[in-house]
Amino acid sequence: MTKMIFVNLPVANVAAATRFYEALGFTQNMMFSNEQASAMEWSDTISVMLLDRAFYATFTPKTIIDAHTQSGALLALNFDSRGEVDSITEAALGAGGREAHDPEDHGYMYSRAFEDLDGHGWGPFFMDMAAAAEAMGQPAAADA
């Protein structure tokens, strides 16, 4: 069986959150979506479940954080280029998201950060693995 991950996020408005993630290129899976939840697919193996806060609360006895003022997780997605990192960040900002900090360029890694409508933090990044190995004084993966 293929390994998959489903990231569950509490949201204030399922419809608005769905529109936000569609603007980033996620696709809604209607089979697992309703008024309480929206299944948003990033790839064949990565999905984000946008759950109404009351519905989310049925899965945990813990207090649900307000991601606008507290951090519970930082979610990172890798991309094949710096341009793709910029594109998804600009899409997030255009859909009502907030840029969390200025772009970071470490030579071998380029990243940005944004928050969705509910304050959940995303960090899209591009990493040149050969350049990263060189910067860390390690052999490149192909050389190992």
What is the per-residue pLDDT for 131? 87
Question: How far is residue 8's CA from residue 39's CA, in Å, rounded to a whole number?
Answer: 9
The dihedral through the CA atoms of 48, 94, 109, 66 has a sign that is negative
Contact status, residue 76 vs residue 124, Cβ threshold 8 Å: yes
What is the per-residue pLDDT for 144? 45
What is the per-residue pLDDT for 134? 86
What is the per-residue pLDDT for 142? 54
What is the per-residue pLDDT for 143? 47
What is the per-residue pLDDT for 140? 66
DSSP 117: T
pLDDT tens over the chain, length 144 residues: 899 999 999 999 999 999 999 999 999 999 999 999 999 999 999 999 999 999 999 999 999 999 999 999 999 999 999 999 999 999 999 999 999 999 999 999 999 999 999 999 999 999 998 888 888 888 766 544
- The pairing of strands 98-105 and 109-115 is antiparallel
Helix (H) or strand (E) holding 126: strand 121-127
Domains assigned to the chain = 1-58 (3.10.180.10), 73-144 (3.10.180.10)
Q: What is the DSSP string of 65-115?
A: P-TTT--S-EEEEEESSHHHHHHHHHHHHHTT-EEEEEEEE-SSEEEEEEE
Find, among 88, 96, 103, 102, the residue nearest to 118 by Cα.
96
